[in-house]
Amino acid sequence: MGRCSWHRHPAGPCGLEAGATTAAVELLREGEVVALPTETVYGLAADALNPLAVAKIFEAKERPRFDPLIVHLPDEQWLERVATVDERSRAQIKKLIAQFWPGPLTLVLARQPIVPEIVTAGLETVAVRMSSDSVFAEIISAFGKPVAAPSANRFGRISPTTAQHVFDELSGRIPLIIDAGPTAHGIESTIIAVLANRIDILRRGPITAEQLSEFGTIHIAAGGGKISAPGQLATHYAPKTPLRLIDNAKTFKPKEKQRVGLLAWNTFAPEERRFAAVRTLSEHQDLLEAAANLFRSLRELDDLDLDLIVAERVPAQRLGAAILDRLERASHGSDN
């Protein structure tokens, strides 16, 4: 079966041929971890109701146990088996689910005892979502139970948007990576908590504050000083190369002999030789395309052994706010 074998430690990601999805379901049943595509980023999945299986996620990612995982549901019927919906919020939650599920919206709700503590890191709440990715949906519905799935990267690093990214970070540690091509959204799901009419955005993502504002009063908890989701740690999404946010590359001059890579939002003249490498987020300044390209472009620049990456700020509205949030975290800790 060559590269695509689901015996331990395959030599590469598996395409959808050769019964790979069936193998993923079998591995989940056996309490193993598998890397799966979702519509946001690739996830590292295990049976959410099996604490030993979930422990393998933490081991493979080197993720600290205080950081809780998102539980992905096979269907809406599972919602109130893993979570309790507060009566004051029920109407709002129902509307949000009707509008955005399946899709990149994660809800933080009170947890039911069926969810093992290792999943929620001992919190009384659980984060739940339902992915709209067709491969993910096929696998989880065949499995028939919720799966816990964080992004399939080593802890603190950039989330994977291709199966190859997962392979680069986790090969030798997990038995199967399902390759269904680059993910659609390219950034992780929006995380919210709902209390009556109030919607707290804990992590910005593909479902924007503007979209959510039709469903309640928005409060942005993301990006503030207080950490409400541990994944909001300031150093998340860190490339190895120092990264600095700038307004416009036109006015940026690298120091002598400094090899600088540019992550561009604005159109950039290719004859410019100031930059050692340039990646443009979207030729047409389309925020959807920019989000989908963000992590891949960052990884590519990070692999070039540059002295510095400069990233142009994108507009702060709609999806731009979620992109900026990732860039700010990627630049944290770089004093450049």
Taking the complex as a whole, how short is the minimal distance between the CB of residue 11 and ligand TXA, in angstroms? 24
Q: Does 132 bind ligand TXA (CB under 6 A)?
A: no
Binders of ligand TXA among residues 185 to 204 (CB under 6 A) are 188-189, 191, 202
Binders of Mg ion among residues 138 to 157 (CB under 5 A) are 151
Taking the complex as a whole, how short is the minimal distance between the CB of residue 67 and ligand TXA, in angstroms? 5
Find which of Mg ion, ligand TXA, none residue 280 binds, CB within 5 to 8 Å per kind: none
Contact 249, 262 (CB under 8 A): yes
Binders of Mg ion among residues 198 to 237 (CB under 5 A) are none
State the number of CA atoms in the 13 A half-sphere of 3 facing the CB: 13
Distance CA 278, CA 261 (A): 6
Distance CA 321, CA 323 (A): 5
Taking the complex as a whole, how short is the minimal distance between the CB of residue 276 and Mg ion, in angstroms? 29
What character string, x for contact with ligand TXA (CB under 6 A) and - otherwise, covers 268-297?
------------------------------
- Which one, of 55, 3, 11, 12, lies nearest residue 33 by Cα? 55
Choose which of 15, 156, 230, 242 interacts with ligand TXA (CB under 6 A). Answer: 230
Q: Residues 201, 204, 207, 210: is their CA dihedral positive or negative?
A: positive
Q: Which is nearer to ligand TXA, 70 or 137 (CB)?
A: 70
Q: Which is nearer to Mg ion, 111 or 157 (CB)?
A: 157
Angle between helices 319-331 and 287-302 (to 10 degrees): 20
Task: Please state, in angstroms and as integers, the Cα–Cα distance from residue 63 to each residue in 131, 150, 152, 154, following that order.
Answer: 22, 10, 11, 7
Taking the complex as a whole, how short is the minimal distance between the CB of residue 61 and ligand TXA, in angstroms? 9
Taking the complex as a whole, how short is the minimal distance between the CB of residue 107 and Mg ion, in angstroms? 17
- 191 alpha carbon, distance to own chain's centre: 11
Binders of ligand TXA among residues 26 to 45 (CB under 6 A) are 38, 40-41, 43
Q: Does 151 bind ligand TXA (CB under 6 A)?
A: yes
Task: Please count the residues of the chain.
Answer: 336
Taking the complex as a whole, how short is the minimal distance between the CB of residue 1 and ligand TXA, in angstroms? 26
List of residues contacting ligand TXA (CB under 6 A): 38, 40-41, 43, 67-70, 104, 106, 108, 120, 123, 125-127, 149-151, 188-189, 191, 202, 229-231
